[in-house]
Structure 1
């Protein structure tokens, strides 16, 4: 799964989101996305009319990229391929600390068949035009709209307790609260402004992570790669790899954390975001 959080008005980044979506579509099997959530909140076929509705929502008035776009492989199950976009106005009083977000999912078979170099290159292509503050690519429990909580919770909790490298993502929720914070250390961790500046910039991270791959990108952005392959971090077989610990430690002052009177989900997410910290 690949996600980006962009601290810019939706109308500024919507064209880049549209181009990133087209890149994603070229990379996945034809017809892999077959359904979308309509303006009425109903599942509708992603035919020519559906695609035109998606394009208009991103690029034309009155939306100009504000609101949600959710594209699904199947209307009845989680599937393997999904696209989620949430265009939030930065100062929208409805949300705590909103930011525009986008995520792209892939099945494990995609990585196995095409290799990590392909997926890393694709993630870079998706990121190229996005002025992200934070982004990442990680093995994940596929859960569009954060629906992992509606599955067999005991099984999901057991997976999360054992495999610390898995992501339990909820793009819709975090786009309304994350602001310019990070969510953690991942196989591919993308840092942009203002987050990268808060961490001291590229050279400070290079000195703090001497044995880690750092790739500076245009417009004061950075890609950090933790190993050749994404690590699910099976705690029954080995300890958390030191590069993950080191990056998590550096990011810890900037990690998102729920505050106030917390519900069960919020407490769990606070613990989860700190799972790799020393």
Structure 2
């Protein structure tokens, strides 16, 4: 969180969600309080949630931080439970000058925390815990735009030992890499991807720029995301409906959308 705030500037985020669900002006005092509580949970509290937003009055803004996690005390009644951290940015500019600084920032974040898996690229935005209000609209767009993450937080909270699937940037912890056969197996399966070592794992870059994956344009910009998706199948998280019944939205089919699809040029415009 501190690294993100330093990256975007201290005045970018304007509001936070209080415990009663209301949005209030975000102050340096509130940030200090949250950081202190994250480092040492108050007595009697075993979980914590943070939502900082650039938008006001609950509106979706250009930037946001969403974190939800718990102490994961043993014995854990939900063995698949984990934490979720989402750091949001506005859509990227048209040029390529931002690419290397952004990928470097993602790598630095991954080296700061003991992550399990993660991804970066285009995603549908919503205001954290209010996602149920827009779930239907997001799910209607997912089948067209393969390159977008659904930002379905409930799934992220229940995928210990799993990955969510292929994205522009995919992050894997060392133990997940071993489940896939180790680094040599990854290099053999992803000859066209860029593989960047991290302190605790690996960053996989599937295309030069983050893909939209527009089905109406034959997904011409998805790079080697199909190859990444097929590699991740043994550890892929299996969801049911992304907030809707499976007969309304088949999340399993969406997660498998790349399995039988051909890869495209890595450096598509």
If the length of structure 1 is used for normalisation, what is the TM-score? Answer: 0.80
Give 1:191 deviation, angstroms: 0.5
**Per residue, is there more helix in 1 or in 2?**
1
Given that 1:212 and 1:226 are in contact with CA atoms closer than 8 Å, whether structure 2 keeps it comes out as yes
| Distance verdict in 2 for CA 1:140–1:200, change over 3 Å | same
Residues 87-96 or 126-135, more deviating: 87-96
Matched, 1:23 2:10: no
Partner of 2:147: 165
What CA RMSD, in Å, does the superposition of the two structures yield over aligned residues?
2.8
Instruction: Give me the whole-angstrom Cα distance separating, in 2, the residues matched to 1:112 and 1:46.
Output: 32
Please, which runs of 5 or more residues in structure 1 have no aligned partner?
1-20
Please, which runs of 5 or more residues in structure 2 have no aligned partner?
261-269
Partner of 1:186: 167
Partner of 2:85: 102
How many residues are aligned here?
A: 254
Q: 1:127 aligns with which of 81, 89, 110?
A: 110
Give 1:43 deviation, angstroms: 2.1
Aligned pairs for 1:235-274 (under 5 A) are 235-239=215-219, 241=222, 243-258=224-239, 264=245, 268-274=250-256
Partner of 1:215: 196
Matched, 1:70 2:51: yes
| Distance verdict in 2 for CA 1:28–1:217, change over 3 Å | same
1:118-152 deviations in Å (ceiling 9; x for gaps): 21111111111222120110101112326454238
Matched, 1:234 2:214: yes
Instruction: Give me the whole-angstrom Cα distance separating, in 2, the residues matched to 1:109 and 1:259.
Output: 31
| Distance verdict in 2 for CA 1:31–1:112, change over 3 Å | farther
User: What SS class does the counterpart of residue 116 from structure 2 fall into?
Assistant: strand
Matched, 1:42 2:42: no
User: What SS class does the counterpart of residue 139 from structure 1 fall into?
Assistant: coil
| Distance verdict in 2 for CA 1:196–1:65, change over 3 Å | farther
**Relative contact order, higher structure (CA 8 A, sep 6+):** 1
| Distance verdict in 2 for CA 1:183–1:224, change over 3 Å | same
Given that 2:52 and 2:64 are in contact with CA atoms closer than 8 Å, whether structure 1 keeps it comes out as yes
User: What SS class does the counterpart of residue 126 from structure 1 fall into?
Assistant: helix
